[in-house]
Every structure is written in C-alpha cells, then in structure tokens.
Structure 1
C-alpha cells in the first residue's frame, strides 16, 4: 500500500493542473505537517498567484523559480486535463449536438430522421484541416491512434494554454497528425527531452511553430530545435530570452523569427545574422537601441542578414540617426517599423521624421505599416516615375542638410565636392541624393566642360539592370535625374551630333 501511494505521488509530480482558472505544474504531492491528508505543491505559471517558494514552516517541500510562485492545494480542487479527442468533442459539442429528431418528407411519406445530423457533422469533423483547442485543458493524446482516426487531415493545430507536461506528450499527439504544418503551443510549460532528435519524426512536416509565453531561454530553444528542423516561422514573443548565441546546424530554414517582448542583450544580436533565409525579424520591445555592422563602411552593404526584408523595431530605445544609417547597409531591407522610439520625438512633426528615414534608407517601400506613396504614371514605356513621397523626402533632405554639407567642404562642382569624413558618416547617402537631385541641364553643363561640346548637341539616355535590354531616353532638361529613377549602378549614355 505504501509503495502504491509513493508511485502515485511520483506519477503526479510534473503534471500540469488548472485551479480556479490558473495553470501550474505539480512539484510535490504528499502530506504537509502539521495538517492531515494529501496536498499538491504547485508552482504557478504566474507567480502572483502563489504565496511562497515551496517552503512551509521552515520545511522545504519543493522549489520555485519565483519566491511567491508556489502554494499548496487539495487534489480535489485541481483539474489534470483531458485527452485530445475528449477536448475536441467538448469544444465542438454545440456543432455536434444531436437534435431530438427531425421530420423529413421522402416522396409522399414523412419519416423521423434520428441521428442523421450527427452522422453528417461527424463526417465534417473527420475532414477538419484546422483544429483549435486553445485553453481546452488538453493533457495528453488519449487512447492509441484515436487522434489519427478522428482528425487525420489536420494541418493547423492550436493547443495554446493547455495542460501538456512535456515534449514527449506533445509528440504523442502530433505524431498522429501526419499533415501537420502549423502548431501553436503558446502559454504552455513543457519539460525537455533528454534526446530531442528522437522526437523529430513527430514534427517532420512542421513549418510554423508558435511558442509565445512559454518561459523559454534561447539555450532551451536551441536545445529543442533539432525536433523541428523544417520550421520556417518561429514565434518566441514574451519568453525569458536575454542572450542570443549562434544557432549552428539548427533553425537554418527560418524565414520569420519573432523575438519581441524579450529583453535581449543587443550586442548578441549579430549571432543570428548568418541565417541565410531569414526574411522577417521582430525585435519590438526588446530594449534595442543600437547596432553596428562593422564589416561594411558607410554606403556599403553588410553580409549580415542577407535575406532580411522586414524589420520590426517598435517600442524600443532608438535615439540616434546613426542606427538608421546602419540599417541602410542591409542589402534586402524593404519594410521597417520603428514606431514609439525616442528618435521620432526629435522632430516636432512626425511626418518630418518619416521623410528623414525614407531619405536615409534608399530601398524602403513600407515604413511603419504605411506604403511609401508612389505615382502611377510612367515617364516612358515600362518606366515608372520614382515614388513621389521618396522623391520629395530626398529633395527635402538635401535642403535640410545642404548648409551643413557646404560647411563640411561640399561643393556643387564635382571636382571640388569633398565633404569631410564626419559629415559623410552622419549622412552616408547625401552625395547619392545630390547626384539624384541634379537636373539634366546641369549634367549636360558638366559634360560640356569635360567633352568640349555644345550642351545643346548632347543627348542622354540610360540603362539599368532592372530593365535589361532597354535604353531609356532622358529628354527633359529641367527634370532632375531622380525623376527618371536613375540609381547607383545605372549607366548614363551620352551621344552628340
């Protein structure tokens, strides 16, 4: 009898429970003197729910991560959850509820169709491709193969806020869902497998995984990563991630990574910069304030984050324009969000700050979830007028810092245009913008001095990689080169008669 009681206590330790709407993990089961009877020592997910750290009257029964994270409850007050199919039936019982009976006329006879609706709805459940059991207290798979026989075609599964105790238990569920591509298990506390790679077959088709609010460190994420080698989208918001390390041999297929609401040491950010396919990175509310890509000088491209086209930096501590200058080194960056940062408060008008960012980031097409507005007219066949908002932003930027450029050694004549290093560091795109804002007439004047030919006899056109095989005529002397979308790397062709 004593052995059976001890086995039962050991069996319950580590299980997940819910009590009065709060979830926790059983860390102890047994007596708590001087009281009588059996108690559960529970470490709550949210420490404000508890009263102590696992000690009672000087005796330690279990340990908690937080000094007020634990409490004792009677087993009768705790719920240990249900199997997957039981939760499924509860979740959809309103849809599956059988009517008392239904009259249906077949030919000239009226018959009572009992159970017909249940059969039809059961077939619909069998065909489900998306299942949401969020906060449905799922604690395990239930009888063998029951999941596979009940919902064989599930591609997307939400088990957030469940009572799953370990990755092994989760794998026993997902291993029966052979088409599963999207899995949400946020707000869970899963114990770790001693050999995660053994569980990888249960997640072999997984492409999206959401692990928000799971109290995970980055080390633990990398420890689990061998289970889900094919994951392309990984959501890790609101965890315990503070320091990033290089993910060697894992997470190499990531295209989307959400690290928001983690206080990350920003000097460790570059440890994930080698991920070859990472397109979207969310660093909102991470304390981000600075970044430096030391492998590239001002105006050059960094090798870091080679595929990154979307970067979210909302609600951070960015206060210097040099951070924006560094972002210009990202070769693929098209979308940026940096709302509610101190930097934006430096300008009285928020639109002015927006213009400065657009001018400093030459490839940006989306800023703070707003498109960089464009005109839809064409300069000539197949050539779109450069974005009106960008053109205006860059021209205004040149006006805004034109005096500083001249004071730093800038000059309208190219051979005398030698601004100092300090200015070029603060404004790495300025010379490019000056070049773009130069009107065609001015360009012809410079060519006249170089070629000793009358400007009226010069005819200009250009070619670019984006329009391979086409040559675009530059036919209006009073328009800036920017009007024709001439960019760095394009070739201007000069002809004369």
Structure 2
C-alpha cells in the first residue's frame, strides 16, 4: 500500500473514533522529547481549551473548548490508518487485488509498479452499481494518473458514498467522478473541504443527487459546489450554517426539486424559495418561529420538525404560504406540546386543507373531515384562534356550513354534532363532558385524566350501554365513534393500580 505524506497543519485525523483537524505540529516545553500535535475536535466537548497551554497560544479554535494538545504517540495509530480512495476500494471490494504473482527475469524478481491499478481495472469493478466507503479514513483520492485509469472501468457505478472520511481537497474528488459518466448520487458528508480550487471545465453533469452535510461549507464554496454539479435535483446541506440558504437566495440550481437545510441555525424562513423549482424542503432543527414569505406554490413537502413554531397563526401561515402542501412534518415544536398531542394533530389537519400526510401518517378523508369539524367546534367556543376572514376559514365554512355559537346546543352550525358523556369514577358520577365523535380514545383519556387526577396510564375506560352492558375500548388511537359511542352514554373509569 502506498504511503501518504506525513500529515501537517490542516490535515484531518480520526483518533479513537473522533474526527479532528490538525492545528499545530511542533514542540512544547512540557514534552521536550516528543513532538506535540494541536487538535481541534469536531465534537467540541472532547477538547479542553482553545489552543492555549501554559499561557502560550499555539493555535486558534472556533470554540473555546474544542482544542487539545497531545503527544505524537497518541495519534500515531490514527496517522498510519490514513489511506487513499484507491487503497480503500481495493481492500473493501477487491480483496484479491494486489496479490498478483511475482514476475521474474531469470532469477531476478522485477518490481511491477502500477499493478494495483491494473488489478482494479481487470477486476469485477465494472459491475459495481454502489460503492460505500464511508468511515474508511480516506485522506486523499490517490495518484491522479491512476484515478484517470480507474474511472472508465466503473462504468456501472450509480452511487458513491465517501462520507465521514478525512478528505480536504474537493478537486481530488472531482478528478475521479468527472470520468464516471454513469454516476448519479454522491455523498461527501462529514468531510471538511478547505481546498476548493475549481476550474472552468470542472463540471459534472451526470450527478443529480448530492449530500454534503456537516462539511462547514462557506457561501462561496457552496456556490462553487453548485457550479460543479449544475444538474442537481436533490441536495442536502444540513449542518453547514446559515450560508447554506444561498442555494435559494441566488437560485443557483434551476433544476433542484429537493433541498435539505436542516440544523443550519436559520432563524427565518429562507427567502426567494418561491422563485425556485423546489417541491420538497427540509428545515428541521432550525430556530424558526414564524413564516414570513411570499407564496411558494411549488412546495408540496415541508419538514419543520424541532423548530420553534409556537402559535397557531404560524401553522395558518404555512397553509397560506404553501397552498399546494400535501406532506408536512412539524413534530416536536412548542405548538405540539402546549396541549394534548391529539388536539395538536387534529387542529393542524383542520388548518391545512390539502394535507395528505402529517408527521409521516396518512390522513384519510373521513379523518380530515372530522378534524375540520373539530377545529370549527373549538373556534365556535372561542377555544382555538383563527382568522375568520382568512382563506382557510372561508374554505371550512363553504365545505361544512357556518357555525352558530350556542354553547348549550349539541349541534354546531350545519350538522356539527357533539356528544354529551357522563363520566363515572369509583361508582359515582363526577362530570358531564362534551366531545366530538372524532376524538380518539387516547384524547378522551387525556381529558378525563385531569378530572380524576390520574395519569392516562393508570386507568382504563369502558362504555356502559343503555342495557347495562360494559364495552371496552380496545384501540386507544381509534376514534370513539368506532366503538358506537352515542349521545348521553356513560363512560366508566377503572383504576388499574399501576
């Protein structure tokens, strides 16, 4: 196996499973007999300082606790594990590569350079459709001339995964994939590219899917990346910081349909997405609390899990901003934790008229109608806010009829029926409550749990029919209408003792 040059400042290592960048190589007074390495860890909790030891600054770090200085003996194993793409490909996919017979002229053995590449060219690489070399300590792609010989042999390759390696020079990656005409998907996530020298001819038109998560890419380098891959239809730029939104703000990729910008510290919704061709957008794990955007009529799928959406007006804004939205993920937002999960689920469905999937769950038409009626009932009782001059409310009243605010009635507007239920606990009636047939058993339990001051896991419910027969609720996430619950029925609460 050919040896890589000894690492220097700026190179990457993986030490005991943790990635880091070398920031200093030299001597320090504390270790006069051994070379010292200053490391900046990707995991900032692994470090101890910012590059200052004994009052002397040896290097700078981005975070004050992400730096360490270690002896060379602590990183020597990681240094020797570094390899090239060609080495890794041979070891993983062609275990017999390099085991060619020695060649002799008479009694003299002849050194045959380049036989490793010949093995690769003559091996069964032509049939490989997917190559996964993630977490393989690849620090360089290998000799350029060898890469040019190798690329045409990978004629069936469609997916290449180079994620979480030690690569720092993007031009080396391009030198390989530029010659693989069949390649469609490339993953370079987790590599920290500091060398971004791109020539005018460095364009790869075959790749349509690119994952470049957690690469610490600047806006300038993202722009260069888009130049290299102009035909991208799917792009992942999670964990790269606010600069990642440049893809939308400058419309760098006219054919882009799926974009992921999760965990990028975005506090506002990226501007100009209404001008792009993007139909699927992932903004999860960003501190976004409101939607301030013109209409984006092409968005069909939106992921905003673990954001800061905390008002129903922000959900209403999603409906207005994305009128063609059919798939939404908003789990683990503050708005989901204020009340019961069922309430948030039903209200969200009722507020977004074309929704087919919510947090991965398909919404049947009957469930959608029940959710809309549920929302209208809450509004009629002033228990849920909505803009009654807005589009969604007009849609709801046109579909289900206008509501009449009569708290004593069991009929809301045009056929919006509610049920009065008598709740019995430990042999006595404690309350009458008003519910909707679309309520799930779990949601009904969450209401009753407040009345009996028990966790929903500490009691069971049953329905007592008019003939005195007790009927159990077998499926907690099914609507109570599934169990033939009728107006004025009795619901019995049985403590389980758990």
Normalising by the smaller structure, the TM-score range is 0.5 to 0.7
Structure 1 residues 120, 184: closer, same or farther in 2, change over 3 A? closer
1:356 and 2:344 correspond = no
Cα offset for 1:95? 8.8
Structure 1 residues 276, 228: closer, same or farther in 2, change over 3 A? same
In the superposition, the TM-score normalised over structure 2's length comes to 0.66
1:345 and 2:342 correspond = no
- The count of residues paired between Structure 1 and Structure 2 equals 368
1:261 and 2:263 correspond = yes
Structure 1 residues 279, 197: closer, same or farther in 2, change over 3 A? farther
1:368 and 2:331 correspond = no
Cα offset for 1:399? 3.2
2:21 pairs, out of 1, 14, 25, with 25
2:38 pairs, out of 15, 19, 41, with 41
Structure 1 residues 153, 401: closer, same or farther in 2, change over 3 A? same
Structure 1 residues 51, 152: closer, same or farther in 2, change over 3 A? farther
1:326 and 2:317 correspond = yes
1:279 and 2:279 correspond = yes
Determine if contact 2:184/2:206 at 8 Å carries over to the other structure. Answer: yes
Structure 1 residues 276, 62: closer, same or farther in 2, change over 3 A? same
Cα offset for 1:277? 1.2
2:253 pairs, out of 236, 251, 254, with 251
- 318-327 or 272-281, larger mean C-alpha shift: 272-281
Whole-angstrom distance in 2 between the partners of 1:176 and 1:60: 45
Q: Map of 1:220-231 to 2, 5 A cutoff?
A: 220-231=221-232
Determine if contact 2:170/2:193 at 8 Å carries over to the other structure. Answer: yes
**CA-to-partner distance for each residue in 1:125-151, whole Å, 9 max, x for gaps?**
331021000011122222322432553
Cα offset for 1:308? 0.5
1:65 and 2:62 correspond = yes
1:400 and 2:375 correspond = no
Name 2:159's counterpart in structure 1. Answer: 156
Whole-angstrom distance in 2 between the partners of 1:76 and 1:438: 75
Whole-angstrom distance in 2 between the partners of 1:146 and 1:60: 46
Q: More strand by proportion, 1 or 2?
A: 2
Determine if contact 1:95/1:121 at 8 Å carries over to the other structure. Answer: no
Name 2:125's counterpart in structure 1. Answer: 125
SS in 2 for 1:25: strand
Determine if contact 1:276/1:306 at 8 Å carries over to the other structure. Answer: no
In the superposition, the TM-score normalised over structure 1's length comes to 0.66
CA RMSD of aligned residues (A): 3.3
Whole-angstrom distance in 1 between the partners of 2:381 and 2:288: 32
Structure 1 residues 428, 307: closer, same or farther in 2, change over 3 A? closer
Name 2:84's counterpart in structure 1. Answer: 83
Structure 1 residues 396, 79: closer, same or farther in 2, change over 3 A? same
Runs of 5+ unmatched residues, structure 1: 1-7, 99-118, 296-301, 374-386, 409-421, 440-497
Cα offset for 1:286? 0.8
Cα offset for 1:338? 1.2
**CA-to-partner distance for each residue in 1:465-489, whole Å, 9 max, x for gaps?**
xxxxxxxxxxxxxxxxxxxxxxxxx
Determine if contact 1:279/1:309 at 8 Å carries over to the other structure. Answer: yes
1:431 and 2:394 correspond = yes
Determine if contact 1:243/1:264 at 8 Å carries over to the other structure. Answer: no
1:390 and 2:368 correspond = yes
Runs of 5+ unmatched residues, structure 2: 100-118, 403-498
Whole-angstrom distance in 2 between the partners of 1:82 and 1:199: 28
Structure 1 residues 128, 430: closer, same or farther in 2, change over 3 A? same
Q: More helix by proportion, 1 or 2?
A: 1
Whole-angstrom distance in 2 between the partners of 1:205 and 1:243: 23
